[in-house]
Amino acid sequence: MAALMVSAWPDWVGELRLVDHHCHSVLGAALDPERFGALLTEAPAPAPGADPFDSAVGLSVRRECAPVLDLAVHAPAAEYLARRSELGVTEVNRRLFAASGTARLLVDHGYRGDDLLGLDELASAAGAPVGEVVRLEAVAEALADTGVGAQDYPAALAEEVARRTSAESVVGCKSILAYRYGFDVDPTRPSSAEVAVATDRWLLLREREPAAGRIADPVLLRHALWCGVDAGLPVQLHTGFGDPEEDLHRANPALLAGFCRATEGTGTPIVLLHCYPYHREAAWLAHSFQHVYLDVGLASTYVGHRAAELLAEVLELAPFGKVLYSSDAFGLPELYLVAANAFRRAVHQVLGGWARDGEAAEPDVHRIAAMIAEHNSAGLYRLPVAA
C-alpha cells in the first residue's frame, strides 16, 4: 500500500498539527553508537551482541529518519550513525523536529532533566512552544532534600505542588506511582496520620542511606498523587509499557478503576499514559468515567507500523474526545519523528480506512483526526488556540 509512505499522505493527514501532550527533552550532546542504541530501547541496554536496530523501532528510525538526513530510506545503521555525527546534534535535532510537524510540546522535565536540553533550548530546537508537566515524585524528593521536617512535609508538598502548578508555563502534573510501587494500592487519599508516620520513616531512611532517597512508600506516593489531584490541573499517570523497573502487570491501568471513582467528583481530569498492552482496558476507563483520558504514546513509537493496530484498539471503546497524541520521546530526536509519523500513518490507515470502507463520512473523519491530534489536548490543558 503505497499510501503508507510519507510522501503519499493526503493533505488532511500531512497537515495535522500535533500537540505532543507528554514527552521529555532531547540530548544536546553527541552520542556514540552504544549510547544511541541504549536510547532505542526501554531496557537499560540491548542484549550483548544484539543490533539495537533489529527491532520495530530500529526499522522505523531507518525508514523515517534516514531520508531527513539525506540518506536513502532504510539506510544501514552504521551509515545512519555516521551521517548523524557528520551533521552534528544541533542540525539533526532541528531537522528531525521540523519533519515531525509537532506544533506544541508538553514536557515532563523531572526525569534525568540535567542530561537534556532545558525547556527554552528545547523550544528553540523544536521550533514549537513548550509547556511543562510537573513530576510529582521529583517535587517530593526535592522537598525532602531541603531538610523539611516530617511534621511539615505533608502540607509543604501540597503547597509546593500548588505553587509549581500555578506557574503560567505549567499545564499538568504527572505521577509515576506505577514505577515506584504499582497500582495495587488503596486508591483513596491517605489520612494525615498515615502520611505523618510514613514521612517520618522516609526522612529517617534518607539520613541513613542516601541511596534510599527515592520516594517509594505507597502512602507517600498516594499523598503526592492526591496533592496533584488537589492542584486541579490534569494529572497524568504512567501506565503500562515502561522500563523494567516496573512490574508491567501492576501498572495495568484497569487497576485504577477505584482511583477513577475516588477522583470522579474532584473536577480534576485523569490522563492515562502509554497504557499498552492494556490500552483496551484503559479505553474502557475513558468510556466509563467522564474525567478520564488516554493515549498510546511510547508504545506507538516502539511498535513500528503496528501503531495503526493500537489506535484501532483504543478507538473501539474510547470516546473520540478522550484520545490524545503523545510521543513520550526521550533523548533522541528520532523518537519524536518516529512517533509523529507512526501517528499520522495510523490515522491514515484507521480513520482513512473508515472513509474508504464507508464506515464514516469523510468530513467526520477529518474532524475526528484533528480532535485526536490537537483539539482534545488543547481543550483538556486549556492551551492557547492556534490562529
Query: Binding to its own copies (CB under 8 A): which residues in 215-274?
Result: 241, 243-244, 247-249, 252, 254-255, 257-258, 260-261
Task: Report if residue 371 touches its own copies, rule: CB under 8 A.
Answer: yes
Of the candidate spans 114-122, 136-144, 154-162, 311-319, the one that interacts with its own copies by CB under 8 A turns out to be 311-319
Residue 300, classed as helix, strand or coil, is helix
At 13, the amino acid letter reads: V
Shortest reach from residue 165's CB to its own copies, in Å: 23
At 358, the amino acid letter reads: G
Task: Report if residue 382 touches its own copies, rule: CB under 8 A.
Answer: no
Question: What CA–CA distance (Å, rounded) separates 164 from 38?
Answer: 32
CB 238 within 8 A of CB 253: no
The grid coordinates listed for 212 are 534510599
Question: What CA–CA distance (Å, rounded) separates 21 from 325?
Answer: 6
The rounded Cα 168 to chain-centroid distance in angstroms is 21
Shortest reach from residue 126's CB to its own copies, in Å: 26
Shortest reach from residue 48's CB to its own copies, in Å: 7
Question: What CA–CA distance (Å, rounded) separates 152 from 240?
Answer: 34
- Per-residue contact flags (x/-) with its own copies for residues 315 to 354, judged by CB under 8 A: xxxxxxxx-------------------------------x
Task: Report if residue 12 touches its own copies, rule: CB under 8 A.
Answer: no
Query: Binding to its own copies (CB under 8 A): which residues in 268-297?
Result: 276-277, 280-281, 284-285, 287-291
Shortest reach from residue 163's CB to its own copies, in Å: 29
The rounded Cα 344 to chain-centroid distance in angstroms is 17
Task: Report if residue 380 touches its own copies, rule: CB under 8 A.
Answer: no
R_g (Cα) of the chain, nearest Å = 21
Place of cell 512508600: 217
Place of cell 551533521: 87
> CA-based angle 337:343:346, to the nearest 5?
140
Of the candidate spans 24-32, 94-102, 203-211, 306-314, the one that interacts with its own copies by CB under 8 A turns out to be 306-314
Shortest reach from residue 322's CB to its own copies, in Å: 7
DSSP secondary structure letter of residue 323:
B
Of the candidate spans 17-25, 57-65, 171-179, 196-204, the one that interacts with its own copies by CB under 8 A turns out to be 57-65
Task: Report if residue 178 touches its own copies, rule: CB under 8 A.
Answer: no
Task: Report if residue 170 touches its own copies, rule: CB under 8 A.
Answer: no
Query: Binding to its own copies (CB under 8 A): which residues in 140-169?
Result: none
